[in-house]
Structure 1
Amino acid sequence: MLRALVLNCTLKPSPAESSGELLAQQVLDALAEHDVTGEQVRVVDFDVKPGVQADMGDGDQWPQIREKVLASDILVFATPTWMGHLSSVAQRALERLDAELSETDDEGRALLAGKVAVTVVVGNEDGAHAITADLYQALGDVGFSIPSQGGVYWNGEAMQKTDYKDLPQTPEKVASTTATLARNAAHLATLLRERPYPAPPQ
């Protein structure tokens, strides 16, 4: 069975409600229809030190999160939109994933090369497309594969206070995009498990 991990990069510590958590959970629920189990990690609940190493020492809790990333087949990277950009928590998580650029498996492949990444972006302001593009580039750089239509987002009306979690029901377009994302992510993760990327010549 495939495993998925949500990195929820909300700025709100638990147990505060999070729109990103809601939409990411809907992605997990859609993935479950394709025999994928999953869990969420709210990054802000951990003491994640700044840096670009796998373990920054001095009480750094990123290694706990990293273990979960390495144990998963699909990473669901979720971030809110603040001032048109991804959250500072999301930026820190990407910087910590940068350490994986130098990590390889026993055959010389990038350690994350067999894993799939998809994105979730929420906010009541513009920026989702630019954030998704940034996430695709960063996650692809460190080894993840992005499936076709591998991102889902919701933008509320600009300069208003309605959040995704406040909606009376899930917009049909968001629901259909989530279903497509899950279907394609599970498909690609299955293919990569069955036929890994070729190892570099020795």
Structure 2
Amino acid sequence: MARVVIQAVVSVDGYIAYPDDTVGPLFDWYFNGDTELSARPSGWTFNVSRTSAAYVQPFWDAIDVTVIGRHLFDTTNGWDGKPAAGEQLVVVTHRPLPQEWLADHPDAPFHTADSVEAGIALAKKLAGDGLVAVTAGDVGGQAFSAGLVDEVAMDVVPVVMGEGVRFFGGHTGTVLLDDPDQVVQGDRVLHLHYTIKR
């Protein structure tokens, strides 16, 4: 059965972007090292510390399907039809994807679902026994609140942003996690991984 992880780069005070969706210094660590990190199938490459690459590359390589919300799809123009990570992508949306975008990207391995629950179910079906990554923010927070997330992965950057888009979106309530099962200190980033006990 597929595992579901909510993941993002996050500030110390819990933000994944500013209110205008820019990320400021959150992604600086992607460019401060001498070891190449490669995302598939997008082909994006970064240069991170050796320690970060040893943690992040296997994690990214394990992702089979990514689940995002419509806002992120619109903000990134659907990454031009190539998922940032994983072979397929599910967009949670109540509106069809734009016809002109579909025409420009006829082979994009993108699917849609009209709810977070349906999106996670579809992603798990597509992933088989693999890994489903849900982007943090509103969609990830909804999945977390609904009990659909098995793991939490955070790349914590030493910056306090003060405002913006929260890692868990609008999730409210207290959830007590166990200690992280992975703690990796990179250069200007701390990689944390939690497995949710049920």
With normalisation by structure 2, the TM-score equals 0.35
- Structure in which a larger fraction of residues adopt helix: 1
With normalisation by structure 1, the TM-score equals 0.35
Q: Which has the higher contact order (CA 8 A, sep 6+)?
A: 2
